[in-house]
Amino acid sequence: MTATRKRTKATTAKPAASGNWLARWFGRWHGQELAGASADGIPVRLSSRHLTGPRDLAVRDLGFDQPLLWVVVSLLAWGLVMVYSASIALPDNPRFANYTHTHFVIRHALAITIGLVAGIMAFQFPMKSWERMAPWLFAVALLLLVLVLFPFIGKGVNGARRWISLGVMNFQPSELAKLAVLLYAADYMVRRMEVKERFFQAVAPMAVAVAVVGMLLLAEPDMGAFMVIVVIAMGILFLGGVNARMFFLIALVVVAAFALMVMMSDWRRERIFAYLDPWSMEHALGKGYQLSHSLIAFGRGEIFGVGLGGSVEKLHWLPEAHTDFLLAVLGEEFGLLGVLVVIALFMWLTRRIMLIGRQAIALDQVFAGLVAQGVGLWVGFQAFINIGVNLGALPTKGLTLPFMSYGGSAILMNMVAVAIVLRVDYENRQMMRGGRS
């Protein structure tokens, strides 16, 4: 009897508070506690409710993470409204005289619809299928990055050749390259897990692959997409367990390489100078024009904004207001509160995606976990760069705000990436119910 009581106390004892506070915090969702942990202390949420019984109880099956889906839907819907608001006056500009007032919002809605269909199709593929397709998808992305450079295939806009016309929309191969590199890097780390401590054997082949993609992107040129791809690849290498000391050494080399690219390019260097002093006579009507008018838009919005549709900066003062600088129009019309809501939504979204990836790794689904965390890095980093550029905290880059800015291929690939994350979560739930992934 005494031994039984001791065993009962041992099994019901609470885990030590020290060292586990961060894991417990990440494991909570709407008041839920961690239901269990793997051998290395990684939390696994077994249910959408607080579990009080043994771990083999039936788990409520919601199919996939519904809050995650609704946050993405909210961003898409808000982005659709803002694209319409930011582009409604463009036909008054002689450059867009042949367009209707609904030209951009209709195409944006079409891109969302296509993305929805593509996302539903992507969700149907198990993660094992994505793992098998990763090298082939990477090869297709490389082929498209080469084809877009040909004048009779690639479409040039403002001196950059980044698009391939597909009739209903212009497809940007660099957006596919983000997903392809993400899947390839995750697959590579799973295949080369045994050499992750030997840095150069583990990293050199992946570095060559990213360098090839980078050369093709810089030929377009599209340095912004290259930066996102480098962050995705390096993030997956780090999360995959590559030696941390050598990893930070290569990170310094990458930062030095980007700094060298800026110094060797006159127009990139001029952008940096314009960012440092956008109000000077030299830059106010040149490279600093977008940034200065973006800051004016935020200033006009103050705390509560001027109201939906009331933006003045979108009336031909702020260039690319419906794409790269959509947040500036949002800040003018919804004020500081609107901007804070957008930031909070992206922070929650990034954290939730990273948690799904962590959960997959805890279930020994390393490829799925790295893919989900790679998507989290992609969405979080690109949103961070776009918000920083709009607020004047970072130099101007041609990166859109995920799920919100106008752009057909960007919306399409964002929705496919989220569908893959939902598939990871779906398989996590299946495994926690005792089934197979």
pLDDT averaged per 10 residues in sequence order, the chain, 437 residues = 43 40 38 39 41 37 80 96 92 80 92 95 95 94 92 76 82 93 91 64 79 88 88 87 73 83 79 81 78 92 92 88 92 96 97 95 93 96 94 86 92 96 94 71
Give the phi and the psi of residue 286 in degrees, each rounded to 5. -120, -120
pLDDT of residue 49: 37
pLDDT of residue 308: 92
d(CA 132, CA 123) in angstroms, rounded, equals: 15
Q: Is 344 exposed, middle or buried (0-12, 13-18, 19+ CB in 10 A)?
A: exposed
Structure tokens at 164: 């391939």
Give the phi and the psi of residue 157 in degrees, each rounded to 5. -140, 125
pLDDT of residue 352: 96
d(CA 134, CA 214) in angstroms, rounded, equals: 18
| Side chain identity at residue 177, one-letter code | A
Structure tokens at 52: 């009080």
pLDDT of residue 199: 62
3-class DSSP state for residue 292? helix
Q: Is 256 exposed, middle or buried (0-12, 13-18, 19+ CB in 10 A)?
A: exposed
pLDDT of residue 433: 81
pLDDT of residue 83: 95
**Considering the entire predicted model, what is its pTM?**
0.82
pLDDT of residue 286: 76
pLDDT of residue 165: 84
pLDDT of residue 28: 41
pLDDT of residue 54: 36
For residues 169 and 110, is the Cβ–Cβ distance under 8 A? yes
How open is the CA angle 167-173-174, to the nearest 5 degrees?
140
pLDDT of residue 57: 33
Cα–Cα distances in angstroms (integers) from residue 353 to residues 23, 116, 346, in the given order: 15, 19, 10
Structure tokens at 317: 């003062």
pLDDT of residue 152: 82
Helix (H) or strand (E) holding 157: strand 154-157
